[in-house]
Amino acid sequence: MTRLLFLFFTYAFLGWVLETVLVTLKQKKVVNRGFLNGPLCMIYGITAIILTVGLTSLKDNIFFLFVGSCIYATVTELLAGKFLEKYYHGRWWDYSKKKFNFDGYVCLDHSLFWGVLGVIVVKWLNPVLNRFYNANVPILMHTLMWILLAILVLDILGTTSVLLKANDQERYNESNKRIAKFTAGLRAKISSVVERRILRAYPLSPELQEKKGKSRVFAEGCGFYKLFWLFMVGGLIGDLVETVFCRITIGRWMSRSSVVWGPFSIVWGLGFALFTAILYQHRKKSDSFLFIAGTVLGGAFEYLCSVFTEMVFGTI
């Protein structure tokens, strides 16, 4: 844990230095980059930990290490951008004007840059940092890491407090919209009850019959409820598909559940929900686009799940 914290803080600081230097050269003035007040870019630290845990076994295969780094870093950057915009109401970066961008959060040239950094981190920098870590007194490193972690938590809380205060007016307006939406929903439910009563009493009323024929959609869009049920249904379907597949190819029945007792595959369920959340707004694009995106994301997701279960449960 403390070794991973050491790598996290080191790469978060180096990422902050890199971002600050690049933006300072571009804008001709010193700019403190990053979400926090301190000299840390958390996305660099988080990405470095994911690459260290997931791709260290590929350090002797430069090609797959590069490809894996591109994919994992790109997905991390995409999710981080969406998270910051959703909960802190702002875009910390925008690649909308660049070619081959995706939602403005990621783009091809930055993904390739992430791939190069991933190779450098996993193959060359990590061994150097590990030797440095091992050369110091363990209790000293443990104490320092936990102190830095406490400071980081305080920084996150302070930054969050300031951003939420700055967005008070926006949240107030949003609250008013929610009240108006609730009122409209309540009015619609009351109207629906009255309409059903009138339809029973006067079944030939053409206006109400037309309204009754219109479909009503539950949880419209891609919300929590749909993602939850995609997780549940996907986990069940995945387990059944793998069970039948093994029966046909191997000739015997075996349990294909992930880490639970019942017929349920957590990997399949997470895959259903995660890929839907990422690709939902692009559902009208071509089949080839969705196929390629699903192939890349699915392969990276399956590989990371395999590494995780082997590390945590000692199983393959």
Residue extents of the structural domains in the chain: 2-166, 170-213, 224-313
Query: Per 3-state DSSP, what percentage of the chain is helix, strand, and coil (rounded to 5)?
Result: 75, 0, 25
Structure tokens at 66: 């590069």
Structure tokens at 280: 């939902």
Q: What's the CA gap between 268 and 233, in Å, rounded?
A: 9
Structure tokens at 32: 């403190």
Q: Which residue's entry shows tokens 């279960």? A: 309
- Residue 39 has a pLDDT of 87
What would you report as the CA-atom Rg of the chain, rounded to the nearest whole angstrom?
25
Note the pLDDT tens digit of each residue in 81-91. 888 887 776 77
Q: Number of H helices and number of E strands within the chain?
A: 11, 2
Note the pLDDT tens digit of each residue in 195-225. 565 556 555 445 545 555 555 555 567 788 8
The CA-based angle 218-222-227, given to 5 degrees, is 90
Say what angle helices 126-135 and 2-27 make with each other, to 10 degrees: 130
Specify whether the CB–CB gap between 58 and 79 falls below 8 A: no
Encoded amino acid at 149, one letter = L
Q: What's the CA gap between 171 and 168, in Å, rounded?
A: 5
- Residue 144 has a pLDDT of 92
Low-confidence ranges of the chain (pLDDT < 70): 32-35, 89, 163-180, 182-220
- Residue 86 has a pLDDT of 77
